[in-house]
Amino acid sequence: MCWTVSSLSAAVAAGDGEPKKPNIIFIMADDLGNADLGYRGGQVSTPNIDTLANDGVRLESFYGEPVCTPSRAALMTGRYPMRYGLQTLVIFPSHTYGLATDEKTLPQALKEAGYKTLMTGKWHLGHADKKFWPQNRGFDYFYGNVMGEVNYFTRERGGVIDWQRNGQFLAEKGYYTDLIGDDAVKLIDEQDGKQPFFLYFASLAPHAPYQAPESAIEKYNNVPDKLRRSYYGMISELDVQIGRIVAALDKKGLRDNTIILFASDNGGATSGLFASGSKSKEERDTEEGGIEQGEKAPASNAPFSGGKGSLKEGGVRVPAFVSWPGRLKPRIVNEPLHMVDVMPTLLALAGGKGSSDHPFDGKDMWKTISDGAPSPNEDVLINVEAFRGAVRKGDWKLIKVALLPGKTELFNLAKDPGETNNVAAENPEVARDLEARLLQYAREQKMSLWIKAQPAFVGAQGKTVIDPDFDIDDDGLPHEKVAIPN
């Protein structure tokens, strides 16, 4: 299936009569709680995010995946992660697999459509082999880390400094969010307006470890919980960098032809198990801002139940909005949409094509965003694994856990957004229909690479595997291509 633009009436017309392709910025927050932004009633001061959301289109039923890797894969491919084995948990430092190289990615498709493709921040779609790295998956430029979480001040993980620019490992001073903000502003300043660009700003914040500059933490001295103060400070710092990105666009005269999309990859972490579950106990005990697996994490996903790792709404229904001045009027969209819908939508706007060999699961959602049309999706697969899955159709959502003794739950989200009342017994036909849909998806899924990797993973647990071309010194830095600041 190929997606091409049928109409670019929303875009700015160029002088030669051809539509001018919009610049695209996708901002991905990490483990951001549904209730932890100012415009959603949270305690955190987020004026820049609030302005973009309130002046744009708020997507109030937008779904990611339960955890980081699957959600990022869905964004990059327009296809459900179960199609290529990334449906289970995340890629740990000792794992050697990544996003299948035969999957056509969003930056690859946009590059073919004439875009400059830029990324700054967290990748988390494969690190053990350079073939998985962003600069080998369609990005012209990459600055950031390829594993999951790192220390915000040192970028260290498992004895390795995971920080690079286009394959050149760096040992830089500074706070993670500030560094990628500086880089994003620099990249925008370098644009001349002649070639459209795609910027993927993939924030690590506010993922654990909960670390922020003291100046950001001090804003929340009235909050008694230490981890929550740091968590709030991390979100504030992210908001500052988003404000700088918008200001840089304004300065270059690019804002009116730049579409900004914002979403969290999954719900906020409410348990230490999913806040930092891939770390050893020693790492968690010794790291500033670390969290024990049994400890309560600081995010809030109200009014939803559950959090990161869960199939409940709090784990998968994420804050999201789209901003395009003069092209989109402020509105709230409650139609169910999914991360897989982003790629076909952007390619339709950009005049790009997907892959005929790997058809999209996602649909072009632009009319839903711009006109408030019904969702293009007959149903939304939230996720499916060998042992559990969830699917939504209209207001109905079914969650099935296959592990014995097993459990089937059906919720009417319009009446029960908190998923407190299982109505499967009262609505057997609805439950049977959604279960049949979920089982069909389950039959189509590829073997989970996470499960497949477990025999080797058990022996290598705690060991960080980076590309073998980069031998690691005792200081955690590769022998080659390392820039040490003065």
User: Which structure tokens are listed for 81?
Assistant: 């992660």
What whole-number distance in Å separates Cα of residue 74 and Cα of residue 103? 11
Per-residue model confidence (pLDDT) at position 277: 52
Please list the ranges in the chain whose pLDDT falls under 50.
Answer: 1-17, 468, 470-486
Res 12: pLDDT? 38
Domains located in the chain, CATH noted: 23-378 (3.40.720.10), 387-444 (3.30.1120.10)
3-state SS, residue 271: strand
Please state whether beta strands 320-323 and 258-264 pair in parallel, antiparallel, or not at all (unpaired): antiparallel
- 69 with 383: CB under 8 angstroms? no
Tokens representing 341?
Answer: 């819908």
Question: What would the pLDDT profile of 305-354 be if each residue is shown by its tens digit?
Answer: 999 999 999 999 999 999 999 999 999 999 999 999 999 999 999 999 99
CA angle, residues 368, 339, 98, in degrees to nearest 5: 160
Report CA torsion sign: 144, 145, 148, 150: negative
**Quick one: pLDDT at residue 461?**
53
Q: Name the catalytic one among 95, 124, 127, 338.
A: 124
Q: How far is C-alpha 423 from the chain's CA centre?
A: 31
Residues 379 and 337: beta-carbon distance below 8 Å: no
Identify whether 68 is a catalytic site residue: yes
Per the residue annotation, which of 68, 95, 127, 338 is the catalytic one? 68
**Pairs from 476-479 (Cβ < 8 Å, separation ≥ 24):** 476/156, 476/159, 476/160, 476/161, 477/161, 477/169, 477/171, 478/169
Q: Is 479 a catalytic residue?
A: no
